[in-house]
Chain A
Amino acid sequence: MKALRRFAEHLVEGLLALSGSVTSLAILLIVIFLFKEASGLFGSPAIEKGYVLCVHSTNSTDVLNPYQIKRIFDSETANWNELGGKDMEISLFRFDDIFSLYSDEELGEDYSLLPEKLGETISQNPAILAFIPEKYAPAENPSVKILKIPEISFSDIFGGKEWFPTATPAPQFGILPLIAGTLWVSLFAILIALPLGMGVAIYLSELSNERTRKILKPTIELLAGIPSVVYGFFGLAVLVPLIQRTLNLPVGETAFAGSLILAIMALPTIITVAEDAMRNTPKAMREASLALGATHWQTIYRVVVPYAASGITAAVVLGTGRAVGETMAVLMVTGNAAVMPHSLFEPVRTIPATIAAELGEAPGGGVHYQALFVLGCVLFVITMAVSISAEIISKRNRGKQA
């Protein structure tokens, strides 16, 4: 009987250890997968796969970076001298253009003459920049120079200010505006939610009577359970038009709307956690303070709030974590323009919203897909940094107390 029980205990212990290690392993694998998928982006060719850029052999340009390519194809750079070349208007040549210059017969059966004709076209125009498939590239033609295709570099991604993942021929993966958008929206969300949340938490834990608290607290906790898409819908239907009308803005979908929605969503967490922390202040502390002639209010801000500091920090971090990672509601109300934010009252785009909106359209394994995984990694690093710093802060506070 005893042996059986001991065996059962061992079995349970083994099962618990197993489930623990399986869970940790699964999480670790997910993180590894995330970084593995993301790493593919670095070193990928900066223009569409299977294509090359060709210029006339007299052209002094050897290499163009993705940003320069994008500006040329957007007609924002129009002259070779802007790129350090001769003073010539850049004449863009896209692959399809060949079909307007030559008939199908001239291009031969199965386009066998295509490379030759392309070579001809390029050699006739010293200012040309041709974007053509690699397999038709006239490599033998001496008056054609095939530009070296740059690789997408670390600085293109983390220093770039343009996010155009579907631009042809050179997609732009500058994630700065997305990082800035995320931090911008989250920062203001916390700035709104923190004072409000602290106020409510102090009211609930210190000032309200038992009956009010019993009604108010579950109500607030209920708010935490509302799906974010509902908040987003509320924001879109109510907040966005309200902001647009009251502030007289061209669009209501702004960073401010996102911050407001996030603040509302983070409030229940902040209130609940902070209130619990403050209520955990020992009665002896309050009594000691009151017995020294401190008023109720002095006791709150000199004893209760400092005592609950680590709990309040935790509340802020949980709130921030939610704000940084929140996807749906923000996607719905911020307008999603991937530009560097300059004010609260213009559209921004956050990292989670970008991933959610674009992953469905990004072909698996392609650069766009990989770029979204890079975003995922960045988000992971940000949230981890937030929780680690919180851990440090609360440890320091605990050190002061114990």
Chain B
Amino acid sequence: MIETQDVNFYYGDFHALKNISIKMETNTVTALIGPSGCGTSTFLRLFNRMNDLIDNARISGKCLIDGQDIYHKSVQVDELRKKVGMVFQKPNPFPKSVFENVAYGLRVNGAGNKSYISQCVEESLRCAALWDEVRDKLKKSAFELSGGQQQRLCIARALAISPSILLMDEPASALDPISTSKIEELIHELKKNYTIVIVTHNMQQAARVSDKTGFFMLGELIEYNDTKKIFINPDREQTQNYITGRFG
């Protein structure tokens, strides 16, 4: 379970997230929607502490995963990131082979057993619905894959270290419709084993893949509810305006 309590986040003087409190259940898909610059990506990156890389960034409030404050001093960031996988907006495979891309997470975590690694790689690629397409290309450079395949490779890479949470930052925004639908099917499958948080600018996508949806605007969480409710009968007028495309 993921939970935030009164989280505020600042980039220097800029107040990027304002008093966000939210609860996301295990094995659900939560979509975060909102106009560009509204803070959804920033919010997503709280959970694997990717925002730590930014100078002058500050956070207040509590950010809990399974009841543990992930910003507590005792938390080791690299250990946290093993539990919280992330898929980025643009496919970003390493300049290595398909196999090595998936094996990377295992290797940095100290796995040395060859048969274990190759088994893990195969499983992850199967999970990401990519195995059949790349089984003969494992030694080829990841850059030889298509954009959609690269993105699924990045998902496989994230799955390989068996996280419990998967953060997806507009995972399909750089892809064609067919690849997008493959990713969406995949999200459906993955929901069984993972808690997924996905940022998307695509309303239909949010409606299709998520159980719950949070609508952000100007750093505030305007509304958070069941996806059906948000898309059919939202409580707030701003939400209504946004999802019907009147602004944003």
Contacts and interface: CB of A to CB of B under 8 A. Distances in A.
Interface residues of B, number: 28
B50 A294 contact: no
B82 interface: yes
A306 B143 CA distance: 15
A2 interface: no
Nearest to A402: B143
A284 B90 contact: yes
Given A400-B141, A401-B141, A292 B95 contact: no
Contacts of B53: 286-287, 290
A289 B94 contact: yes
Given A303-B94, A307-B95, A293 B158 contact: no
Contact of A401 (B79, B95, B107, B108): B95
B137 interface: no
A293 B88 contact: no
Interface in A290-332: 290-295, 298, 302-303, 306-307
Contacts of B78: 290, 293-295
Nearest to B167: A291
Contact of B88 (A288, A294, A302, A401): A288
Interface in B35-87: 48, 50, 53, 55, 78-79, 81-82, 85-86
Nearest to A298: B108
A293 B92 contact: no
A282 B94 CA distance: 10
A291 B165 CA distance: 12
A291 B86 contact: yes
Interface in B148-181: 154, 157-158, 161
Contact of A294 (B85, B86, B95, B108): B108
B85 to A, nearest CB: 7
A285 interface: yes
Nearest to A397: B95
B94 A288 contact: yes
Contact of B94 (A285, A290, A293): A285
Contacts of B93: 288
B82 A293 contact: yes
Contacts of A400: 95, 141
B104 interface: yes
B92 A287 contact: yes
A289 B88 CA distance: 12
B92 A285 contact: yes
A282 B108 contact: no
Given A298-B108, A400-B141, A291 B95 contact: no
B234 interface: no
B104 A284 contact: no
A133 B7 CA distance: 101
Smallest CB-CB A-B distances: 10 pairs:
A293-B82, A401-B95, A284-B92, A292-B105, A294-B108, A291-B86, A293-B81, A288-B92, A298-B108, A293-B78
Given A294-B105, A302-B108, 12 more contacts: A210-B55, A284-B92, A285-B94, A287-B53, A287-B92, A288-B92, A288-B154, A289-B94, A291-B158, A292-B104, A292-B108, A294-B104
Interface of B: 48, 50, 53, 55, 78-79, 81-82, 85-86, 88, 90, 92-96, 104-105, 107-109, 141, 143, 154, 157-158, 161
Interface of A: 210, 282, 284-295, 298, 302-303, 306-307, 400-402
